A and B are shown apart, each in its own frame.
Chain A
Amino acid sequence: MTGGMEEFHNGSEGSFNAEEADTIVKECIENVVGGGDYSQSQVNKWTANIVERCLTQLVKQGKPYKYIVTCAVMQKTGAGLHTANSCYWDTAMDGSCTVRWENRTMYCVVSVFAVATA
């Protein structure tokens, strides 16, 4: 790709589709955690499963991207939680998507970062 990075020369095929990623992530969370309650012994498995599933689905799309998927699961006890992300990348091609999900006993925050490969 020799075009200038600032040109939006790619159609939606070439850039990160945040909506699609959002749908993928929500499905993965539902499938893994669904209606369960927070469980200290299971949470390890859940976070690992969620990130793996999301990654697999994203890679299946076959786009020229590197992906980073992070997942945080927190028990609802009234504690305050705050997260922030900052990225140093190519704003035309790269993108991210964050999904916040909750049920009665826990919060789940999943972030997907997609970085275009040259």
Chain B
Amino acid sequence: MDYQIEEEAGFVVEDVSKIIKESVEATIGGNAYQHNRVNQWTTSIVEQCLSQLSKLGKPYKYILTCVIMQKNGAGMQTASTCFWDNSTDGSCAVRWENKSVYCIVSVFGLAI
């Protein structure tokens, strides 16, 4: 197939990465890990990101995951694998941290 799709219409990792970073900064920012707020944070981050992504108006389905972990020395490893269309689909993962919190957000975009 010809490369007929313009760059704008594909999954642009930079744009998505920016959206994620802004959303995490705005939600957690400089706050310390608080067990009773973490629930709100994860929900707020994924919702904000999703609404920004759908505003991009591209013909994509999105899946977002957000992991927030307290910094106390525990080891953690995450992995993901995808069965999709390599030419149109894409993903972007952002690792963010402050003094007491690690936050990992992954976005997967699947072309319709």
Contacts and interface: CB of A to CB of B under 8 A. Distances in A.
Contacts of B72: 77-79
A77 to B, nearest CB: 4
A70 B110 contact: no
Interface residues of B, number: 45
Nearest to A49: B79
B3 to A, nearest CB: 21
A80 B62 contact: no
B38 A82 contact: yes
B82 to A, nearest CB: 5
A75 B38 contact: no
B17 interface: no
Interface of B: 33, 35, 38-39, 41-43, 45-47, 49-50, 53-54, 61-85, 89, 91, 106, 108, 110, 112
Contact of A89 (B53, B63, B69, B83): B63
Size class of A's contact patch?
A: 35 or more
A26 to B, nearest CB: 17
Contact of A74 (B62, B76, B108): B76
